[in-house]
Amino acid sequence: MENSLWRFIKRLKTSPATRALCIVLLFIIMLLTLHIPDKVDRQSQGTLILDDDTKKVELKGRDILITYKDVERLKKIRLPESTLLPTKILYNKGEDMEIGIMLTGKEEIYIVAIEPILLFSYPIPLNEELHIIIKKSENFLYLYNDGELVKRYPVATGAKLNHTPEGTFRIIIKSNLEDGKSSEQLGARWIGIEVPFEADKRGPLGDERAPQGLKYGIHGTNEPLSIGSHASGGCIRMYNQDVKELFPLVPLGTKVIIK
């Protein structure tokens, strides 16, 4: 097709500028002709992630395809989004996963366990620094350090949408509540976060406790059955053993992102 167009352009009795424009258009057509099949071919073939003696794992769009060679069985895992980049293969990550794949999406990092098959995700870390991300929609607290997920904890957040503030805050006060003087509702520890007036949607307006780390915090609870639900007055509830574990890991000044 390109040769025919080139002969046609040479026969044209036009100005040099017009012929130059035709040559540019021909060059664009040639590029499109070269690249479109490549894109289609790569989409149909997928991305090979793992190929060993027992299985082959491929990424095709939103699907992870696992072919078990010994029994000629195919397993498909569909992911929530299609813009995914294989990051690395994980081996022997605890009792729940012998082999897994880490994939990075737009906002989430997905862990796909191959043996046994399992899928979970967590937010992409903000940076390499120590920080916390809390997702109200899922009621999970994620602790990060050095750009890696350290641990995920189940939590309870506000009973109403505006109860737990959203934004980027920092820890400004920490208290050990196992002194017999504090309310049992706050459990074993209090990790207070600094919330500016404009982010405090619960009221009352201009509540001085919010920016002092005395109104909103991460704390334990005497209602363990509420963990995993939207049940609090605005704080982030944790199991008492979890908040005890978290307490020494997050110094004053640690960023807390709530969304």
Q: Sketch the domain layout of the chain as residue ranges.
A: 48-123, 131-258
Provide the edge-to-edge strand list for the sheet that holds 73-78: 47-51, 55-60, 63-68, 73-78
- What's the DSSP call for residue 225? G
Residue 77 confidence (pLDDT): 85
Burial class (CB in 10 A: 0-12, 13-18, 19+), 36: exposed
Enzyme catalytic residues: 219, 235
pLDDT tens digits, residue range 101-155? 888 888 888 888 876 677 778 999 999 999 999 999 999 999 999 999 999 999 9
Task: Provide the whole-model pTM.
Answer: 0.71
Q: Would you state the CATH architecture of domain 131-258?
A: Beta Barrel (2.40)
